[in-house]
Amino acid sequence: MVSYTIKRFLGAWPTLIVLITLSFFLMRFAPGGPFSGEKVLSAAVQANLDAKYHLNDPIFIQYLDYLWSLARGDFGPSFKYPDWTVNQLISQGFPVSLWIGGWSMTIALIVGVLVGSLAAFKQNTWIDYVATGMSMTGISIPTFVTAPLFTLLFAVILGWLPAGGWNEGSFSNMVLPVTALALPQIAIISRIMRGSMIEVLRSNYIRTAKAKGIPNRIILFRHAIRPAILPVISYLGPATAGIITGSVVIEQIFSLPGLGSYLVKGALNRDYTLVLGSVILVGALIIAFNFIVDVLYALIDPKIKY
């Protein structure tokens, strides 16, 4: 197990380096620049800006300098926010996205696994039909539809909850964005869990357990849920990273100062370092969550070898 974990950890680094390299050169070779705009700068001002941010250095030197900065944990200065570094911008937005995404994924995992397991155990009954119908509805309706509807109903008409804002992460401000973000994930996880659980329940060892008269509750929680949850764990890696860093729509609708808003602003403003920092952070999270999933997979199913 230790050897497997070390190999998986070392195998993740080349992927991250390739991601950094591709992101850096794609940003540099794209037309335009961080100081290109409707107002054309004079040649002297442009030269001073290029010299200040070392944009007039050879591209390979810029690449090595950026790698050296990353090795020291420094994403560099923001080109569009002169008084801020990318580290400061990310450190402001990431906790918000992590808080919302983390709660959304936790709720989605618990509810999705329970609903999917129950639907599989009660296959072809009204419980299964209701769970399947609700999951299909949850997948079909995007968050940019559910979020405004929640705001209209619970904030504007009923007045029970705030329509938006961060407010230091208070409970009442988080209910609507977390719910809107969790609903599609509940639907997806419940469908994955239902399909996997049905397959497990048809296994010979489950039939043997039923023939021995073991209660359904023990069969479900002791013998069936562990192998059935493996596909859900595979899904959790990229999904968790995506929901933490990619909730751009939710952040915009509820006016939350998360990481997604900085990524959009950086892309629109051609802020090289801000976009690179955001992309590298997202990529690193995806790699990290996939690494955790691989380790969990090996812990749950010891037959898995590197």
156: alpha, beta or left? (left if phi > 0; alpha if psi -120 to 50)? alpha
Query: What does the alpha-carbon distance between residue 113 and residue 160 come to, in Å, rounded to a whole number?
Result: 29
Identify whether 11 is part of a domain: no
Buried b (16+ CB within 10 A) or exposed e, 240-256: bbbbbbbbbebbbbbeb
Q: Which domain holds residue 273?
A: 86-300
pLDDT at 40: 67
Sign of CA dihedral 35, 41, 44, 45: negative
Q: Note the pTM of the prediction, 2 decimals.
A: 0.77
Identify whether 60 is part of a domain: no
Q: Are 147 and 180 in contact (CB under 8 A)?
A: yes
Identify whether 94 is part of a domain: yes
Query: Which of 89, 67, 92 lies closest to 80 in space, CA to CA?
Result: 89
The pLDDT tens digits of the residues spanning 88-118 come to: 888 888 888 888 888 998 999 999 999 988 8
* Residue for token pair 């497990």: 200
Sign of CA dihedral 246, 288, 88, 280: negative
Task: Give the up-direction half-sphere exposure of residue 298: CA atoms within 13 A in the CB hemisphere.
Answer: 15
Identify whether 200 is part of a domain: yes
CA-derived radius of gyration, the chain? 24
CATH code of the domain in which 131 resides = 1.10.3720.10
Query: What does the alpha-carbon distance between residue 126 and residue 129 come to, in Å, rounded to a whole number?
Result: 5
Regions of the chain with pLDDT less than 50: none
pLDDT at 54: 76
Identify whether 16 is part of a domain: no
Q: What's the one-letter identity of residue 98? A: L
**C-alpha triplet 21, 24, 27: angle, nearest 5°:** 145
pLDDT at 289: 82
Q: Are 224 and 201 in contact (CB under 8 A)?
A: yes
Q: Are 279 and 23 in contact (CB under 8 A)?
A: yes
pLDDT at 9: 76
pLDDT at 302: 65
Query: What does the alpha-carbon distance between residue 247 and residue 242 come to, in Å, rounded to a whole number?
Result: 8
Q: From the CB of residue 14, how many other CB atoms can be counted at a distance below 10 Å?
A: 9
Identify whether 77 is part of a domain: no
Give the count of domains, the chain: 1
pLDDT at 107: 92
Q: From the CB of residue 190, how many other CB atoms can be counted at a distance below 10 Å?
A: 28
Task: Provide the 3-class DSSP secondary structure of residue 77.
Answer: strand
DSSP E strand boundaries for the chain = none
pLDDT at 110: 92
Identify whether 232 is part of a domain: yes
Q: Running DSSP on this structure, what letter comes out for residue 257?
A: -
Identify whether 244 is part of a domain: yes
Query: Which of 93, 86, 95 lies closest to 66 in space, CA to CA?
Result: 86
Residues in the chain: 306
pLDDT at 139: 80
